[in-house]
Structure 1
Amino acid sequence: MKRFAAVVGGLLALCLFVLGGMFAWGRLRPPTAEQIEALSLLARPSQPTQGRNAFSALFFSNVDVPADKIDQVYAAERPRALHWLTFDMLTATPEHWYKPAVPYPSLPRPVESDGLCLARDQHCLAKVRQNQDTVRASLARHHVRLEHERALAGYDYVWSDLTEGPTADFLVSSSDSRGLWSTSAALDFVDGKFDRAFDSVCTQIETRRRLRKGTNASVVNILGGMTMSQATHLFADMLSEAPEGQPLPASCTRAFSPLTVSDVDRCALMQFDFNKTLSPDLWKADLPWTDRWKMSLEHSRRLAAPRYAAACSEAGLSRLLMDQPITPGEWFVHPDAFDAVSNSFGIVLMQIGAPMHESTLNRDEDIVASLRMGATILWLAQHPAPGQSLDQRLAARPAWMHVDDSRHLRVSDDGRSLLISPHGPGSGWVDGWSLPKER
């Protein structure tokens, strides 16, 4: 019996020795080359240094703050917004949601009965044509909000400086105008004001495209992108119905200029998410010393960094620019046994806190694909080729307009539009692009 106890004790001691060694190596081992590179990419400065920041304009989109005072008013309101995000947001009810405490009137909110073109409405032109009286009344009622949205054309980028709070998205998520700009352009077209209609819709596409570049605010990236996609659908519909010889403004050329890396670079979003999920300031105060053997923030950041930084690397950006889909879980980092022993809580945090990067990026590719398709429709209209099939004409378009083969570019059964398949979940709104009439 004593011998058995000695054997068991020896085995337990050996296990403890091995676990201790694994714990020590897990905590003491240096970062890998991949982790070092990823951390470097995530620490790279991303905020634009020139131009006008539209964040304050979006922040006050529901309030009629004078344009020349908006930055000053935002600077005064920012501490209150940070306090709400940090301490009050999780317990706030819809009746007690954040409202700016500024001496300016709130704007009426658009509602579904206004008949406006929502971000997922692919047939804005038809919707407006069928509800002209309702739309005219709605545009008159919301004319101040519409002017605020049009004023976004004077800004260069969107950058949230509410970095101390969990996210500013909760404060600007209602900033979308619910399609006022597109609805206004569609009504101009219905009224026969073709020059004004095309300039309006193309200026909106150009503006939304510019403001998405390099932003760290995910709501601007997603909602702004969906609005841009919807406006591009509207542009294609307008082009298919435009009178023969209708000239297009320079804004349309700018709206559908060739894609560059900046159109697909979402590194600032990944940096923002990484620093919020695994922030030293967030965890150093909340983690009791008795639990620190379960988690190493430094090693958690190392483990998570490659997944967050994958979209920042040259290889990742190249794939996004070529419209190649990202397989779900493809960039997931798999911890090893040493991580499990030395950083068990950190592994859980890394898996729970990391957003669904691949799905997010695939959905973003769908938004960028709308620019490719809008440019394709414009190119077909501007390059008639009698005697050539549509397949031949599509093959001849510039390379940057091409979509990945997995999208299965095809013609609809009625022959009136081009169809593509989405990469991301819930992106059915990328489908159906009206073909221009044969001249």
Structure 2
Amino acid sequence: MGKALQRALGGLAGGGLLVAVVLLASWLWPLSAAQERRLAALEAPRALPGSNAYVTLASLGVEGPLAQRQARVDEHTRQFETWYADRYVPGFIRGDAEDKAGTPPRLPGEDTPSPAVDTVLCGFGGAAGCLDAVRSQPQAVAAALAPHATLLAHMDELALHGHYHSPLTQAAATPWPDMRQLTVPLSAHALAHVQGDSARALAGLCRDAGSGRMLMAQGDNLLTTMTGSAMLAANAKMFAAVLAELPLDAPLPASCGKAFLPLSADEASVCNGMRGEFAMQRGLAALMDQKIEHGQRYTRLFYSSGKTLARQAETLGQSCLPETRQAIAEDRKLPVPSVAASAWWQPQCLTNAIGCIVGDIARPAYQGYAHRQQDMAAQLRLLQAALWLRGQAVQGTAAPLAERLGNLPAGLRSAHRPITLSADGMALETPAYGKDRQMLRIPLPQAVSGQ
């Protein structure tokens, strides 16, 4: 009996020692080479070109000169940072941030909200049919645009900036400028064309396409990146629709050449947006560490901020790698990042179950952004091809359209997604990479498609 008990106790001790060794090994388990590489790519410094668009976007519908609006935005930044440090962080540590921290200070103008975007106005998703929609009810569109006069007046100011960077600490409660307002000018441009002022419509479309391009390529978070991409795509589609209705000799504003240039590999990447996402995840990890140190140290058995960030970097950092950039440059469809689903027995998850579970839940949300950006690049290639064919028609080229299409400049060709003529001969098409999208399409000027 005594010997049996000794053996049982010895077995328990041995089992306990084994568990301790396994847990220690999990704690000391090093980051993989892939994780370290992606972490370095996400944290690489980058230069920000030009001036910051944050003040303009944060006060897009607010009246007053820039200096006055700048002062209001600066005061809001100060108030928010004080609120965040004094109320949100303690509330997060206690676990009652949502209940006791209260509402964060509002952005300028939110105390007297800007006019809602009327449903009669076109959204980014409806840009291709916006001309017809506005043409069917121009008076209703004009009435819906009237309350947005201040916003429309500030779009020239937005076009002068070179990047977007929020000065606010990024957290779940951080206020964002209302990006939905950026859809309003589309209807103003469509109305100008419908009313006969096509030159103003083209100038506005090219100006706003440039702003969208800036937000997409030089933003500091994923929301800004994808909003800028949608803004660029919408203005490009309507620009093509307006151009299709104009004679071949209609002059184009100089700004159009730069706004609609084919995207570089860096512009067509979501790297900067993912860097912003990672910065927010790093901030959340820092808050979790504070929470653990203030009374929930047992959580260390199930959570490691370093391992959690490394695992998140596996997903977010793929877009910043040189091989991804090369694939974008060659227009090869990017693979969906393959990160093995976590399991409790994996070494990196034994002492980071919380981080592994949270990372696995969040990962699917990031799938698809890279393909949408690749489609944006393809959309601009279609537009440039249409402009090139327009130029050929102006020069009186007599070759059949299909033959001219085969002679596109090298910069507009893709070995993986060739540009083809639509079945009706009225548009250019190329396959889409994005989910649930079959073909990308840009209409041709009537004089081009009719030859």
* TM-score (normalised: structure 1): 0.85
Secondary structure at the aligned position of 2:62 is classed as: coil
Q: Using the alignment, how far apart are the partners of 1:371 and 1:199 within structure 2? A: 17
* Residue in 2 that maps onto 1:283: 288
- Residue 118 (structure 1) aligned with residue 126 (structure 2): no
User: In 1, are the aligned partners of 2:60 and 2:150 still within 8 Å (CA)?
Assistant: no
* Residue in 1 that maps onto 2:390: 381
Q: Give the AA of the match of 1:157.
A: H
Instruction: Tell me how far 1:255 sits from its aligned partner.
Output: 1.4
TM-aligned CA distance change 1:332 to 1:209, over 3 Å: farther
Q: Using the alignment, how far apart are the partners of 2:14 and 2:3 within structure 1? A: 16
- Residue 310 (structure 1) aligned with residue 321 (structure 2): no
**Mapping 1:18-33, distance limit 5 Å:** 18-33=18-33
User: In 2, are the aligned partners of 1:304 and 1:333 still within 8 Å (CA)?
Assistant: no
* Residue in 2 that maps onto 1:54: 53
Secondary structure at the aligned position of 2:159 is classed as: helix
Q: Using the alignment, how far apart are the partners of 1:238 and 1:89 within structure 2? A: 50
Secondary structure at the aligned position of 1:432 is classed as: strand
* Residue in 2 that maps onto 1:320: 328
**Mapping 1:201-350, distance limit 5 Å:** 201-279=205-283, 280-287=285-292, 288-330=296-338, 337-350=346-359
TM-aligned CA distance change 1:20 to 1:400, over 3 Å: farther
Q: Using the alignment, how far apart are the partners of 1:26 and 1:10 within structure 2? A: 24
- Residue 414 (structure 1) aligned with residue 430 (structure 2): no
Equivalent of 1:158 in 164, 172, 180: 164
User: In 1, are the aligned partners of 2:61 and 2:114 still within 8 Å (CA)?
Assistant: yes
Instruction: Tell me how far 1:332 sits from its aligned partner.
Output: 5.8
TM-aligned CA distance change 1:107 to 1:297, over 3 Å: closer
Secondary structure at the aligned position of 1:228 is classed as: helix
TM-aligned CA distance change 1:179 to 1:274, over 3 Å: closer
* Residue in 2 that maps onto 1:63: 62
Q: Deviations over 1:404-427 (max 9, x none)?
A: 73x675544432123344323466
Q: Using the alignment, how far apart are the partners of 1:427 and 1:152 within structure 2? A: 31
TM-aligned CA distance change 1:397 to 1:408, over 3 Å: closer
User: In 2, are the aligned partners of 1:214 and 1:267 still within 8 Å (CA)?
Assistant: no
Instruction: Tell me how far 1:12 sits from its aligned partner.
Output: 4.7
TM-aligned CA distance change 1:100 to 1:206, over 3 Å: closer
Q: Using the alignment, how far apart are the partners of 1:386 and 1:206 within structure 2? A: 34
Q: Using the alignment, how far apart are the partners of 2:259 and 2:347 within structure 1? A: 51
Instruction: Tell me how far 1:58 sits from its aligned partner.
Output: 1.2
Q: Using the alignment, how far apart are the partners of 1:321 and 1:230 within structure 2? A: 23
Q: Which 10-residue stretch deviates more, 217-226 or 159-168?
A: 159-168
User: In 1, are the aligned partners of 2:386 and 2:444 still within 8 Å (CA)?
Assistant: yes
* Residue in 2 that maps onto 1:436: 445
Q: Using the alignment, how far apart are the partners of 1:32 and 1:376 within structure 2? A: 44
* TM-score (normalised: structure 2): 0.83
User: In 1, are the aligned partners of 2:385 and 2:412 still within 8 Å (CA)?
Assistant: yes
Q: Using the alignment, how far apart are the partners of 2:391 and 2:353 within structure 1? A: 60
Equivalent of 2:115 in 108, 111, 120: 108
Secondary structure at the aligned position of 1:179 is classed as: helix
Q: Give the AA of the match of 1:300.
A: T
Q: What is the aligned-residue identity percentage?
A: 22
User: In 1, are the aligned partners of 2:58 and 2:108 still within 8 Å (CA)?
Assistant: no
Instruction: Tell me how far 1:393 sits from its aligned partner.
Output: 3.2
TM-aligned CA distance change 1:209 to 1:403, over 3 Å: farther
Q: Give the AA of the match of 1:418.
A: L
Q: Give the AA of the match of 2:118.
A: V
Q: Using the alignment, how far apart are the partners of 2:415 and 2:104 within structure 1? A: 43
Q: Deviations over 1:337-376 (max 9, x none)?
A: 2123232222113223446333222223233332222222
Q: Using the alignment, how far apart are the partners of 1:137 and 1:319 within structure 2? A: 47
Secondary structure at the aligned position of 1:433 is classed as: strand
Structure 1: where are the runs of 5+ without partners? Answer: none
RMSD: 3.2
TM-aligned CA distance change 1:217 to 1:308, over 3 Å: closer
* Residue in 1 that maps onto 2:380: 371
Q: Which 10-residue stretch deviates more, 326-335 or 304-313?
A: 326-335
TM-aligned CA distance change 1:28 to 1:314, over 3 Å: same
Q: Using the alignment, how far apart are the partners of 1:89 and 1:393 within structure 2? A: 63
User: In 2, are the aligned partners of 1:146 and 1:181 still within 8 Å (CA)?
Assistant: yes
Q: Using the alignment, how far apart are the partners of 1:215 and 1:62 within structure 2? A: 20
User: In 2, are the aligned partners of 1:176 and 1:224 still within 8 Å (CA)?
Assistant: no
User: In 1, are the aligned partners of 2:27 and 2:351 still within 8 Å (CA)?
Assistant: yes
Secondary structure at the aligned position of 1:309 is classed as: helix
Q: Using the alignment, how far apart are the partners of 1:5 and 1:21 within structure 2? A: 24
Q: Using the alignment, how far apart are the partners of 2:173 and 2:46 within structure 1? A: 17
Secondary structure at the aligned position of 1:154 is classed as: coil
User: In 1, are the aligned partners of 2:25 and 2:347 still within 8 Å (CA)?
Assistant: yes
User: In 2, are the aligned partners of 1:214 and 1:266 still within 8 Å (CA)?
Assistant: no
User: In 1, are the aligned partners of 2:189 and 2:204 still within 8 Å (CA)?
Assistant: yes
Q: Which 10-residue stretch deviates more, 182-191 or 68-77?
A: 182-191
Instruction: Tell me how far 1:97 sits from its aligned partner.
Output: 8.9
User: In 2, are the aligned partners of 1:119 and 1:230 still within 8 Å (CA)?
Assistant: yes
User: In 2, are the aligned partners of 1:307 and 1:332 still within 8 Å (CA)?
Assistant: no
User: In 1, are the aligned partners of 2:221 and 2:275 still within 8 Å (CA)?
Assistant: no
Q: Using the alignment, how far apart are the partners of 2:339 and 2:327 within structure 1? A: 13
Structure 2: where are the runs of 5+ without partners? Answer: none
Q: Using the alignment, how far apart are the partners of 2:266 and 2:232 within structure 1? A: 16
Instruction: Tell me how far 1:46 sits from its aligned partner.
Output: 3.1
Q: Using the alignment, how far apart are the partners of 2:223 and 2:6 within structure 1? A: 63
